[in-house]
Chains A and B, each alone.
Chain A
Amino acid sequence: MTLLFEQLLNGLQFGAMLFMLASGLTLIFGIMGVVNLTHGSFYMVGAYCAAFAITQTGSFLAGILAALLGASLYGLAVEYLVIRKLYRRDHLYQVLATFGLILFTNETVSMVFGRKPPLVNTPTLLEGSITLLPGLQYPVLRLTFIAVGAAVALGLWILVNRTRVGMLVRAGADDREMVDALGVDIRKLYTVVFGLGALLCGLAGVMAAPLLAVEIGMGERVLITTFVCIVIGGVGSVNGALVGALLVGMVDSLGRAFMPQLLGGLFPPTISDPLAAGFASASIYVLMAIILIVKPLGLFPPKV
């Protein structure tokens, strides 16, 4: 029972991180119509910037600042130089161009920061764990990240539903041409959305740094998972991204925790362990395939 509760919390924490990536990605796709594979690279850049700043200064706060700055600046540069020219192109070409950018970013990061994965320690303030239930110790760091995720979700909801910029964003997602025709500088809106997306990637990068390995290729792994989230939720919808991210986070965590037990009864451990790992990794894709087969546009597609 405590194991189940702990895994649910882990799923929530993973889902919170995924939501930060997914919300930006879904807005970029919904508003600009760009399939942006570089999104995972912003996250990697953020994580590396954080790791670098923390080892240099020893301050986690500096790491957060460096990650936000690094990721959003890189995002804006990519938007200005490449993405801007891809708005009206076929998805096929967007996929290829941003695939090329991934190759470029990976190599550049490994040249700038070196091939050795940097280590990021948990900041002293967030060390240790607290007792949530009798017999259930949970790390403060993860709890903090869940809280940050919830704050971001709330902030985004307010931004999208209660502010003028958010109104334009929603309008842009509904009908680009109409917003443009009504005299809104759609290019500026695109840049703002793209920069915001990259900024959230940087935040997710900081959150990943002490928990997961900071390494080349971390961006692609999470990118694919993020795409699964937004496709499940319905591409272009922030609410959908939230639901998708939480679903994927839960399924992934629970699959990793309980799949070995489930298969352990059927096969000897030498076969069941790797098989369980494989099934757990594949579980979110199975989830997505099932959802798309039942609802081809995802759970909460934006109204057309």
Chain B
Amino acid sequence: MTTTALPAKLTRAAWLGIAGLALLLATPLIASLTGTPYLINLVTRFVIYGLAAVSLDLVLGYGALVSFGHAMFFGLGGYVVAISSHHATDGGSIFGWAGSQAAVVVWPLAIACCGLLGAAVGYLALRTRGVQFIMITLAFGQMVYFILVSLQVYGGDDGLMMNQRSHFPGIDFSRPITFYYVCLALLVVWTLLCVHIVNSRFGMVLQGLRQSERRAVNLGVAPMPYRLSAFVISAMGTGLAGVLWANFAGLVTPDMASWTKSGELMAIVILGGVGTLLGPIAGAAVFLGLEQALSAWTEHWMIVMGPVLVIVVLAGKNGLFGGWLGARNG
């Protein structure tokens, strides 16, 4: 991994990744050829949720840390951007800062906020294991949710409109195709980064801790720094997805941080295959695509979606794409 610049033979996962990327790159072309411009909107949603799912897979699949509160980072990322924009346009200044709509300022700020929240939550939550970890992350998620609901200044329950997408010199985010390619580029960069992370020494230690904490500890590894770093990185990625979502939807609501959103993200990761990184992106496409198709067909779409999730779990351990992508077992 360290010396070879190019692997002599690409793995099957890499080929599938390249094929998927080609398909995503070609989507705007397909949309314009078939006269279905709304396809771009749909695929933008796939990409944004894919970004969140890849981030969640980092802790879920490689760290075996079942976080049931990841939507808090999705919500926080979105709210930071929307609140900055709100103050820049009509809300007046906040703590002496006039707010901003510049992506180069606000996006890193949002990601940094998510990183800080991730560090605080992770530091406290990682004292627990198993079902207690699931529940304490859920608890922190709920705290963030209720705080967002109670912020009357920023719309409370109804959420906050974001009238303009963030500005970036030379790139017009308000064009759907441009914004789609921005999201796609970020997804690709983030996924490559995550692949690099899990194959690095850091990632190996993380996976070693998942397999057997006792063994890793006896080899001289302190678990906390590794798990906490993974949690923070994952929180930042999920926050970035929230930033993109706020820009895409033009609206942030407390629902972005609700526990059902955390459940949805988890469902996407499992659907695509835990611990594969690429699988969750496909999982996002399948989950959101199915949701779209079913809700167009009947308003009672959940009556089909629910059993589909149950069957996916009962049918196997690797989700839909885990087998192709060479997922670990269990």
Which B residues touch A86, using CB under 8 A? 313-314
Q: Which A247-281 residues have C-beta < 8 A from chain B? A: 270-271, 274-279, 281
With both chains docked as a complex, state the minimum distance between the C-beta of A48 and any C-beta of chain B, in angstroms. Answer: 16
**Is the CB–CB distance between B124 and A293 below 8 Å?**
yes
Interface size on A, residues (CB 8 A): 50
Question: Is A101's beta carbon under 8 Å from chain B?
Answer: yes
The CA of A29 and the CA of B303, in the complex, are separated in Å by: 26
Partner of B146, one of A93, A270, A278: A278
B31 → A minimal CB distance (Å): 30
A272 to chain B, nearest CB (A): 10
Tell me whether A279 and B150 are in contact (CB under 8 A). Answer: yes
Q: Give chain A residues whose Cβ lies under 8 Å from the Cβ of B313.
A: 86, 89, 93, 96-97, 100
Residues in A with CB closer than 8 Å to B330 are 90
**B129 engages A99 (CB within 8 Å):** no
Q: Mark B120-154, 1 if CB is under 8 A from A, else 0.
A: 00001001111110111011101100110111110
Q: Check if A285 is an interface residue, CB within 8 A of chain B.
A: yes
| Contact bitstring B230-269, A, C-beta under 8 A = 1, else 0 | 0000000000000000000000000000011001001100
Is A231 engaged at the interface, CB distance under 8 Å to the other chain? yes
1/0 per position for A165-187, CB-CB distance to B under 8 A?
00000000000000000000000
Closest chain A residue, CB of each to CB of B259? A224
Which residues of chain A have C-beta atoms less than 8 A from B259's C-beta? 220, 224
Q: Which residue of B lies closest to A273 (CB)?
A: B152
Q: CB distance B309 to A97 under 8 Å?
A: yes
CA distance A205 to B169 in the complex (A): 57
For residue B302, CB closer than 8 A to chain A, the reply is: yes
Query: Quick one: closest A residue to B121, CB to CB?
Result: A289
Q: In this complex, what residue of A is CB-closest to B134?
A: A91
Q: Is B274 an interface residue (CB 8 A)?
A: yes
A298 at the interface (CB under 8 A from B): yes
* CB contact under 8 A between A278 and B147, given known A82-B314, A97-B309, A100-B305: yes
Report yes or no: A103 in contact with B305, Cβ–Cβ below 8 A.
Answer: yes
How many angstroms between the C-alpha atoms of A89 and B329 in the bound complex? 12
Q: Is the CB of A111 within 8 A of B300?
A: yes
Candidates A82, A92, A95, A285; contact of B142 at CB < 8 Å: A285
CB of B309 within 8 A of CB of A99, answer yes
Q: Which residues of B are found within 8 Å of A89, using beta-carbon distances?
A: 313, 317
* In-complex Cβ contact of B274 among A92, A101, A110 (8 A): A92
Specify which chain B residues have a CB less than 8 angstroms from the CB of A276 in the assembled complex: 150
Closest-by-CB residue of B relative to A29 is B131
Give the shortest distance, in Å, between B326 (CB) and chain A (any CB).
19
Q: How far is the CB of B117 from chain A (nearest CB, A)?
A: 13
The answer to whether A292 and B136 have CB atoms under 8 Å apart is yes
> In B296-312, which residues have CB < 8 Å from any A CB?
300-303, 305-310, 312
A93 to B317, CA, bound (A): 8
Q: A92 to chain B: which residues have CB within 8 Å?
A: 60, 66, 266, 270, 274
On chain B, the residues within 8 Å of A35 by CB distance are 131, 134
Of the candidates A93, A103, A293, A297, the one whose C-beta lies within 8 Å of that of B270 is A93
C-alpha spacing A89/B316, complex, angstroms: 10
- Inter-chain CA distance A103–B306, complex, in Å, is 5
CB neighbours (8 Å) of B309 from chain A are: 96-97, 99-100, 103
Using known A-B contacts A91-B130, A100-B308, determine if residue A288 contacts B135 with beta carbons closer than 8 Å.
yes
Say yes or no: is B156 at the interface (Cβ < 8 Å to chain A).
yes
Grouping DSSP codes into helix (H, G, I), strand (E, B) and loop, the A interface class, with mixed when no group exceeds half, is helix
Q: For A235, give its contact among B131, B142, B152 (CB under 8 Å).
A: B131
Residues on A with C-beta less than 8 A from B132 are 231, 235, 292, 296-298
A144 beta carbon closer than 8 Å to chain B: no
| Contact yes or no, A95 B310, CB < 8 A | no
Chain B residues, CB < 8 A from A93: 270, 313, 317
Contact of A107 among B139, B149, B303 (CB under 8 A): B303
Give complex CA distance A106, B151 in Å: 29
**Taking A224-B142, A297-B132 as contacts, is the C-beta distance between A270 and B152 under 8 angstroms?**
yes
- List residues 139-176 of chain B with CB under 8 A from any CB of chain A: 139-140, 142-143, 146-147, 149-153, 156
Q: Does A303 contact B (CB under 8 A)?
A: no
Q: Please, how many angstroms separate the alpha-carbon atoms of A80 and B169 in the complex?
A: 60
Tell me if A43 is interfacial: C-beta within 8 Å of chain B.
no
Given contacts A92-B66, A281-B146, contact A99 B263 (CB under 8 A): yes
CA A56 – CA B240 in complex, angstroms?
Answer: 52
Contact present for B150 and A278 (CB under 8 Å): yes
Q: Is A126 an interface residue (CB 8 A)?
A: no
B79 within 8 A of A: no
A282, CB-defined interface residue at 8 Å: yes
Cross-interface CB contact of A285 among B140, B260, B270, cutoff 8 Å: B140
Interface hub of B151, B301, B303, B310 (most chain A Cβ within 10 A): B310
**Which residue of chain A is the closest to B142 with respect to CB atoms?**
A285
Q: A97-B310, A99-B267 are in contact. Are A288 and B150 (CB under 8 A)?
A: no
The digit string for B193-234, where 1 denotes a CB below 8 A from any CB of A, is 000000000000000000000000000000000000000000
Cα distance, A91 to B65, chains bound together (Å): 11
- C-alpha gap A231/B263 in the complex (Å): 19
Least CB distance from B25 to A in Å reads: 31
Q: Cβ of B134 and Cβ of A277 under 8 Å apart?
A: no
Asked if A274 and B308 make an inter-chain contact with CB atoms under 8 angstroms apart, the answer reads no
Top 6 closest pairs, chain A to chain B, by CB: A278-B150, A100-B309, A104-B306, A103-B306, A285-B139, A97-B313
What are 8 A-B interface contacts by the 8 Å CB criterion? A91-B130, A92-B274, A100-B309, A103-B309, A107-B300, A107-B302, A227-B135, A278-B150
Q: Apart from A92-B66, A293-B127, what 19 extra A-B contacts exist at CB < 8 Å?
A: A86-B314, A95-B68, A97-B313, A100-B305, A100-B310, A105-B306, A107-B301, A227-B135, A231-B135, A275-B150, A276-B150, A279-B146, A282-B143, A285-B140, A285-B146, A286-B143, A288-B136, A293-B124, A296-B129
